[in-house]
Chains A and B, each alone.
Chain A
Amino acid sequence: MTQPHDYDSIPGTYVYDAERGRIGYPLNMFCMSLNKAENRKAFKENEAAYLDRFPLTAEQRRTVLERDWLGMLKVGGNIYYTIKIAFCDGLTFQDVAGMMSGVPKETYAKMMLAGGRTPDGNRYKDTDAAAEDE
């Protein structure tokens, strides 16, 4: 059963709560394994075979193999864990943040240099609530 949360109204945000924790556990534990150099090597050599060691769902597997960073969050990935795949690929937090928010790396970097994404208009999902967003 999915209970509503007051944070569900925050747009573009995937709170790593009990529900995501339940479905995301195997995916995140695979990511955790990449803290070891020998596992990073094995993963890079044959990603699909390495993933066989973990009981991921087909969709979780797909998001990893396709580096669908946003998709990983939707199937229970936690950013502190999924970022370890990015580190394996030689990417930075900022590279992945840009990809998740759907803009080119340069555009994202420019936004951050200009002070970051403003909270104005980004506090609530629906427009009615956004009217209170000042």
Chain B
Amino acid sequence: MAKIVAGIACSHVPAIGVAMDKGQTTTAYWDPLFKGYQPAREWLAKLAPDVAIIVYNDHANAFSLDIIPTFLIGVADRFPIADEGFGPRPVPAVQGHPELAWHLAESLILDEFDMTIANEMPVDHGLTVPLSVTCGQPAAWPFKVIPICVNVVQYPPPTGARCFKLGQAIAKAIETFPGELRVVIYGTGGMSHQLQGERAGLINRQFDTAFLDNLTKDPLSLTRISHTEYMREAGSEGVEMVMWHVMRGALGEHASEVYRHYHVPASNTAAGLMILDNRSAS
């Protein structure tokens, strides 16, 4: 049977990808951020998972406003890199895991999560930046990827509580997959940031720190944060943190923190990274 061995929470700031693609990671501006990524890369390389489920949001690339899926799963065997308006990132295409993805899609829908199914879609920085952050710059990504997209662009995104329950349903589905697979799940986006309006640049270190602490101390309390509270406290785009709940819901109650890194600023954003070990967490 397949098993979720770890959860990874990771911000997906586009500028982080640009810094890597342009070889700027050791500049004075970026060095403190990237130094903090190294231990996570080493831990993940040692863990060597077979598949990663990456929960992220598309940013007007695979989808626009013509059709807005609240939850979507990608079942393709390959996902090309999106052109986000300045050419695609020079990173390898993402290899999917159609067998597990279709199993997830069926299981989730029958478990009352009405997933949209995508047979073809490009993936943007929301997915590729967390891969770059945690895997560096390999010629091919070291594991297969199943993209799960959550709408956080058109208000309202799904609630944190609903996202957590989706995570629980993902865990249930993984357990019933007949293959022997070791799976990691990523929750991406956040942490506090606001990209728009006169209040752009808002950062709330206190909110972010409490959020990171409660991912292990009291994850259920985090699922009760309302969208308005996210927007007021953590910036209008801070609401992306609902996607972390999908990851957290997929882990056992006693998942343990093995690594954390928090840095301000990455462009306009507070960049957070946390690894949760799920191997003895049931």
| A contact residues vs B (CB 8 Å cutoff) | 5-7, 10-18, 21, 25, 28-29, 31-32, 34-37, 40, 70, 73, 78-81, 83-84, 87-88, 92-94, 97-98, 100-102, 108, 111-113, 115-119, 122-124
Contact = CB atoms under 8 A, between A and B. Distances in A.
A107 B65 CA distance: 34
22 contacts: A5-B228, A13-B194, A13-B236, A14-B236, A21-B154, A35-B85, A36-B83, A73-B196, A78-B154, A80-B153, A81-B60, A83-B195, A97-B196, A98-B200, A115-B203, A115-B205, A116-B203, A116-B264, A117-B194, A118-B202, A118-B203, A122-B199
B277 interface: no
Nearest to B82: A35
B228 A112 contact: no
Nearest to B198: A12
Contacts of A10: 199, 228, 231-232, 236
Contacts of A94: 15, 267-268
B14 interface: yes
Q: DSSP majority for the A interface? A: helix
B87 A15 contact: no
Interface string B215-238: 000000000000110011100100
A92 B156 CA distance: 27
Given A32-B65, A117-B203, A119-B233, A13 B83 contact: no
Contacts, number: 151
Interface residues of B, number: 43
A100 B65 contact: no
B177 to A, nearest CB: 34
B201 A101 contact: yes
B270 A32 contact: no
Specify the main secondary structure of chain B where it touches its partner.
loop
B14 A93 contact: yes
Given A97-B200, A112-B268, A119-B207, 14 more contacts: A6-B228, A12-B198, A12-B200, A21-B155, A70-B198, A73-B196, A73-B197, A78-B154, A84-B84, A101-B199, A101-B201, A115-B205, A119-B233, A123-B233
B231 A13 contact: yes
